[in-house]
A and B are shown apart, each in its own frame.
Chain A
């Protein structure tokens, strides 16, 4: 019991230190998950305690990217939950087509699988030309990976299946070149993408967008932070703009629930109500 209590204090202090020294604010991440993640990091980086880790982190900024990799989850695949993308294709795209130019914000883009999925979907739907993507994440390493568009070849099979299930109108292989066990996705997909370090925990709205996809990010946040993020989304979305969340996420308990209407209920796609 005592040890747990001490660990809690240490974790809080460590997160406080991270925030004050490097402005990475994990203080409002879901407790259980961040604890697990930190424990893993502590073991892997071989620190005897979180206090020791804190001391090291405060003085050694080189440790931060490594720690970030533990604290942010980098698991995703292209066209994950194909039905979500199918719903976007069938229900959202016709609306998006009425805009002369589009902005899409992939919040928490991780290593870019979702971004590439969107880019491919938008190309198939004839929207890519007029769309500017904002891909944001707090982890610079992940952003770099996203901007490179390189994925292990053995993952492509699953991607391809998902793509087909999502109602893909072309072959996924049209968009990548495979060599040396990797697949590089067409640079053209990323020509209209702004990769940026942006934190939903600390940063503000930067643009008016027609679509925000923020999948499986809110689950890592606690309620106040979820509300903050959803507030950003609300302020960022154009009137009648769309918000896509992860399959396990919902707006039901958010203070901003009123600002959104369910658009495709089962896929957690919401539409901004008129203000």
Chain B
């Protein structure tokens, strides 16, 4: 086995090409040189030849010259001899030839200085000879032959001739020497030329042979090259396409075995360290081929490590075998070649051949190593890439899923973010709200603090006052206690004497006088009782009452009471039940006298105010306290009064039913006594269900537990005595004569509510004087009844009524819709003016009342009645509705008149004055619009303010039309009556407060006619009715013709309309900015776009207050600008400025 490692395949192609080219170049150079040599040789020969010819010419010229001179001499001699001119002919000819021949020689020998010098030497000789010749000839001619011969005999001619001859001979010789030298040169040149020709021929043959060899080699190299090239192309084609490594390996092996004519092949690929088999071809099925190898292991490993193809010749046995169907053989020769990429072996191929492996195969494999390596690497990359791609795709899918998840969570986050943002904004709002609330609370707190301070101050003042009062109370009580005693003494005598008088022992008094005396006695008794009570109360209040506790037997107590009250019960036909509960102790410790006093008072009250049923005294024990309850089945006491009835003097003029008046001081005393005993009195009662007064006292009196007495509110006016029946019993019917049976005019009725007959009579008489018809009520019930029945136009009300307080009456009348309008004048013995007026009374008089004051009050009522009587015309076709409205509006001071048709309405307006008119738009004979237009057009009608009251919705146009006549338009509906009432009362009120119309008109006319504005037409563009009216009211009285547009579009329409019609041109526009449909700025711009209106003055009116609004208005084209709210004077001056006469 021989191993052959090929280092490098020769780069045949480039070298053979170079050699061939060099051969060709050498041939060309050779031919150029040999040509040049030949040319030089020929040139040399030519030049030599020329020079020889030249020498020849020179010699010829010399000979010719010599012959010419000889001819001249010959001629001379002939002439001399003969004297015959004919012999001179050669001389002449020679003479003419001589000069050119000499110059020819001169020219020809120019290149030869020696010859030139010779020519120079020759010339004098020739001239001398010629001169001698001529001289001799001339001598012959002139002097004859002798002279001539003499001359000749001088031998001068001969000398000259000899010199010439010698000179010419020298020249000829010189020239001949030159010619022979040149001939020798020429011969040398000829031999040189022959030698060079022979050399060139020999060289040419050699060169041609060399080029031939070279060309042959190049052709072979090219063939090999082509084979290699084809192999490469084939290999490339085989490797082409997106093949996997496996496929690629198969393809490479297929191609290599086929192209290199190998019998078998195996291909391993590796990563530089490990190689594994990827393809095999032609190997017998059972051949043991390694699946892989590592670097430097086996031949393969060595090749892989070396990176150089290795040839194995004469393969020993045991190598892989080539199999076919017919048998097997082992390859004789092997080539193991690596495939290399970037200097790294990435595959090794082993090929088995049956024939020896040529160089070109190794070269091919060497060359194929790169591309195949690249292809394999690419394939590996591709495979890797494929794997990566798959991985990437998987990852991409995963990413997609993740991104989807992300998107979802992102959306959620966004959602949350938005929610958070909203939350934040909401929180912000809440915070502001909280702050706001906080501020409010702070303000409230401050207010409360201030109030508290006020309260504290007031409290202190009140306390001071209270102390003063207490002091005063004590003084008063002391005084009263003392005073009562002082009073009793004279009263006593009075009583006795009146009793005496009443008895009329002497029968000297008339019956009437006896009656008087008895009255005096009765009154005296009342007075005495009153004084006693006052004394008692005063004593208690002044702390003058001593409690004398003793043991009191309950049995004894109740039996004594029974003894006292049984007869009363029998007299009033009432049942009297006494019930002592079993758990009560037999005796208690208290002041028996005071306990008796309390119980007697309670029982007597109970009997007094119980008409039927029974009175009970129930004694029970609650803990350590004894409860004595006095229950009746009387009329009861309303809960509001529960506290009041215990207050001393309260019932006199408060709302306590006078029926209970008797309990006034009695209960007060009882309560104070109970307190003294360490107990209290409680009241349970309801109107109509009887009352239960419960006295609770301790079982044993304990002075320490008794509360110190607190001064009760003092009062100056005494009240009815508690025990005596009231002298002013409640009368059921009129207490004085009145006019209830003969009322003539329901409009002027005065109700006098007064229980004092005398006073009632006085008021009645006065009222009649003033012109009222009079009703008199003695009690509150009566008063309410009469008020409802007769609907009086005014009331005079006493506060101190027997059954209820007059203030209660006042309140109830004012709460009743039917009577609340009635003016009420209150008269009272005590000052409740504030309360009464706040309840709605029109005036207040304190008793005692002077007649003049009363008269004045009545006149005030009268005046109020006549003054506030207003007439309202209700125009409504539907009877039911008309009546409803009349009822709604009608009151004592509003007279309503109904009209069902337009005609009736107009008739009424012509005949009667009205303060106000409520107009329904749909009337059977004409529309409301017609009525309004008629009224405004024709002067014969009074035109009261109109409230339009309609069931239909109105179009904006209709509304605009109506607004000219009426500022109040009401659409009927659930709440319309309320609004109608508001509007009407407001109207009537306004009318009252206004100046008389005539007067107003005069003022208007005097002040407002403005000459500049008279008859001018102004367009008001404004959507707000209120503004339109205020503007109209400013401008119209000044004679301006006002036209109204409700928005920018309408303004444009109005301008267009007046431009096309005959109407007086609009001279000024007052333009509101904020309007629907088209705003003022836009409208102004559009107006300015029309050349007709570029000069039309426009004043913009805006609610915006800023300077740039001003600018915006002006830049839109307005001439001037005015901010709302409008200043009348400023507006007028602006209008005058922009609308000069």
Chain A interface residues toward B at CB < 8 A: 23, 30, 32-33, 36, 73-75, 94-95, 97-101, 103, 129-130, 132, 134, 154, 192-194, 196-199, 202-208, 216, 218-220, 223, 235, 238-240, 246, 248-250, 252-253, 274
Given A98-B970, A130-B953, CB of A219 within 8 Å of CB of B432: yes
Interface string of B958-982 (1 = CB under 8 A from A): 1100100000011111111011001
B498-506, B576-584, B899-907, B1101-1109: which lies at the interface: B1101-1109
What are 23 contact pairs spanning A and B, CB under 8 A? Answer: A23-B1108, A33-B435, A36-B431, A95-B978, A98-B970, A99-B969, A99-B971, A100-B969, A101-B954, A129-B953, A134-B1074, A154-B415, A197-B1104, A203-B1103, A204-B1104, A206-B1024, A206-B1072, A206-B1102, A218-B436, A239-B982, A248-B433, A249-B436, A253-B440
User: For residue A75, which residues in chain B have a CB less than 8 angstroms away from its CB?
Assistant: 422, 425-426, 428-429
Measured CB to CB, the closest approach of chain B to A73, in angstroms, equals 6
- Please give me the residue from chain A that is nearest to B1107 by CB atom: A23
Which of chain A's residues have a CB closer than 8 A to the CB of B970?
98-99
* Chain A min CB distance to B449 (Å): 14
- Whether the pair B982, A274 counts as a contact (CB closer than 8 A) is yes
- CB closest residue in chain B, given A136: B1074
CB-defined contacts of B487 to chain A, threshold 8 Å: none
- A204-B1105, A240-B982 are contacts. A97–B974 as well, Cβ < 8 Å? yes
Please tell me if the beta carbons of B1074 and A206 are within 8 angstroms of each other in the complex.
yes
Give chain B interface residues in 415-440, CB to chain A under 8 Å. Answer: 415, 418, 422, 425-426, 428-429, 431-433, 435-437, 439-440
Contact assessment for B1026 and A208 in the assembled complex, using a CB-CB cutoff below 8 Å: yes
Q: Could you say which residues of chain B place their CB within 8 Å of the CB of A204?
A: 1103-1105, 1123-1125
Q: Is the Cβ of B1124 less than 8 Å from the Cβ of A205?
A: yes
Known contacts: A30-B432, A132-B1023. The answer to whether A101 contacts B956 by CB under 8 A is yes
A-B pairs with the 6 shortest C-beta distances? A206-B1103, A208-B1026, A75-B425, A219-B436, A207-B1024, A100-B954
Find chain B residues with CB under 8 A from A99 CB: 969-971
Q: What is the distance, in angstroms, from B942's C-beta to the closest C-beta of chain A?
A: 25
Give bound CA distance, A97 to B950, whole Å.
12
Bound: A130/B973 CA distance, A: 15
B431 touches A33 (CB 8 A): yes
CB–CB A202/B1105 < 8 A: yes
* Contact yes or no, A196 B1074, CB < 8 A: yes
Known contacts: A98-B975, A194-B1076. The answer to whether A36 contacts B428 by CB under 8 A is: yes
Q: Which of B1094-1120 contact A (CB under 8 A)?
A: 1102-1108
Q: Does B432 contact A97, Cβ atoms closer than 8 Å?
A: no
Contact assessment for A207 and B1026 in the assembled complex, using a CB-CB cutoff below 8 Å: yes
CB <8 Å contact, A94 and B973 = yes
Q: Please encode chain B, from 1010 to 1045, with 1 for each CB lying within 8 Å of some chain A CB and 0 for all others.
A: 000000000000011111000000000000000000
Could you tell me which residues of chain B, from 399 to 423, have a CB within 8 Å of some CB in chain A? 415, 418, 422
Chain A residues in 8 Å Cβ range of B443: 253
When chains A and B are docked, how far (Å) is the Cα of A223 from the Cα of B1105? 21
Q: Report the Cα distance A196→B1072, complex, angstroms.
A: 13
In contact, A30 and B436 (Cβ under 8 angstroms): yes
- Selected contact of A101 from candidates B959, B973, B1103, B1107, CB within 8 Å: B959
Which residue, B970, B975, B1125, has most C-beta atoms of chain A within 10 A? B975
Report whether B1076 and A132 are in contact in the complex, using a CB–CB cutoff of 8 Å.
yes
Given known contacts A99-B971, A206-B1074, A206-B1103, A73 and B425 CB-to-CB distance under 8 angstroms: yes
Question: Across the two chains, which residue of chain A brings its CB closest to B989?
Answer: A274
CB of B200 within 8 Å of the partner chain: no
Known contacts A75-B422, A248-B437: A216-B429 contact under CB 8 Å: yes
B1075 in the interface, Cβ–Cβ < 8 Å?
Answer: yes
Which B residues are CB-close (under 8 A) to A32?
435
Cα A35 to Cα B979 in complex, Å, equals: 46
Contact between A203 and B429 (Cβ–Cβ < 8 Å)?
A: no
B986 within 8 A of partner (CB): yes
In the complex, the chain A residue whose C-beta lies closest to that of B949 is: A98
For B971, the chain A residues whose CB sits under 8 A away are 97-100
A104 nearest CB across to chain B (Å):
12
Contacts A239-B986, A253-B440 given: A205-B1125 contact, CB under 8 Å?
Answer: yes
A193 CA to B1074 CA, complexed, in Å: 11
Q: Let me know if B982 and A98 touch, CB within 8 A.
A: no
Knowing that A23-B1108, A100-B969 touch, tell me 5 more A-B residue pairs with CB under 8 angstroms: A95-B975, A194-B1075, A207-B1023, A218-B436, A220-B432
Say whether A100 contacts B1104, CB under 8 Å. no
| Set of chain A residues within 8 Å of B986, measured between Cβ atoms | 239, 274
**Cα–Cα, bound, A204→B1124 (Å):** 6
Residues of chain A with a CB closer than 8 A to B1125's CB: 204-205, 235
Contacts of B439 in A (CB 8 A): 30, 223
- Cross-chain contact B1103 with A98 (CB below 8 angstroms): no
- B1050 → chain A closest CB, angstroms: 14
Q: Contact check: which of A23, A216, A238, A250 meets B440 at CB < 8 Å? A: A250
Q: Which residues of A contact B433 (CB under 8 A)?
A: 216, 219, 246, 248
A253 and B425 alpha carbons, distance in the complex (Å) = 27
Q: Are A94 and B974 in contact (CB under 8 A)?
A: yes
Residues of B within 8 A of A274 (CB): 982, 986
Contact call B432/A73, Cβ cutoff below 8 A: yes
Q: Whole-angstrom distance between the alpha carbons of A146 and B136 in the complex?
A: 156
Taking CB atoms, residues of chain B closer than 8 Å to A246 are: 433
Chain B residues near A198: list those with CB within 8 A: 1074, 1103-1104
Considering the chains assembled together, what is the distance between the CA atoms of A98 and B439 in angstroms? Answer: 38
A36-B428, A97-B971, A134-B1074 known; A208-B1025 Cβ under 8 A: yes
CA A95 to CA B981, docked complex, whole Å: 13
A74, A198, A208, A274 — most chain B CB neighbours (10 Å): A208
Complex Cα distance, B979 from A248, in Å, reads: 30
Q: Tell me which residues across on chain A come within 8 A of B1025, comparing CB atoms.
A: 208
Distance (Å) between the CB of A32 and the closest chain B CB? 5
How far does the Cβ of A220 sit from chain B's closest Cβ, in whole Å?
A: 6
A199 to B954, CA, bound (A): 33
B978 nearest CB neighbor, chain A only: A95
B866 to chain A, nearest CB (A): 25
- Those of B1049-1108 within 8 Å (CB) of chain A: 1072, 1074-1076, 1079, 1102-1108
> What chain A residues lie within 8 Å of B436 (beta carbons)?
30, 218-219, 248-249
Q: Which of A97, A103, A240 has the most CB of B within 10 A?
A: A97
A196 / chain B contacts, CB cutoff of 8 Å: 1074
Nearest CB of A to B211, in Å:
88
Chain A residues with CB below 8 A from B982, complex form: 239-240, 274
> Complex Cα distance A196/B1079, Å?
10
What are the residues of chain B within 8 A of A253 when measuring CB–CB?
440, 443-444, 447
Residues of A close to B1107: CB separation below 8 A: 23
A95 to B444, CA, bound (A): 33
- Residues of chain A lying within 8 A (CB to CB) of residue B447: 253
CB distance from A28 to the nearest CB of B (A): 13
A275 to chain B, nearest CB (A): 9
Q: Which residue of B lies closest to A238 (CB)?
A: B1026
Contact B969 A206 (CB under 8 A): no
Given contact pairs A23-B1108, A198-B1104, A206-B1024, A30 touches B435 in the complex (Cβ within 8 A): yes
Output the nearest chain A residue to B970 by Cβ-Cβ distance: A98
Contacting residues, chain B, for A132 (C-beta < 8 A):
1023, 1076
User: Which single member of A95, A97, A205, A238 contacts B1103 (CB below 8 Å)?
Assistant: A205
**Which B residues are in CB contact (< 8 Å) with A249?**
436
Given known contacts A98-B970, A134-B1074, A208 and B1024 CB-to-CB distance under 8 angstroms = yes
What is the bound-complex CA distance between A274 and B1107, given in angstroms? Answer: 35
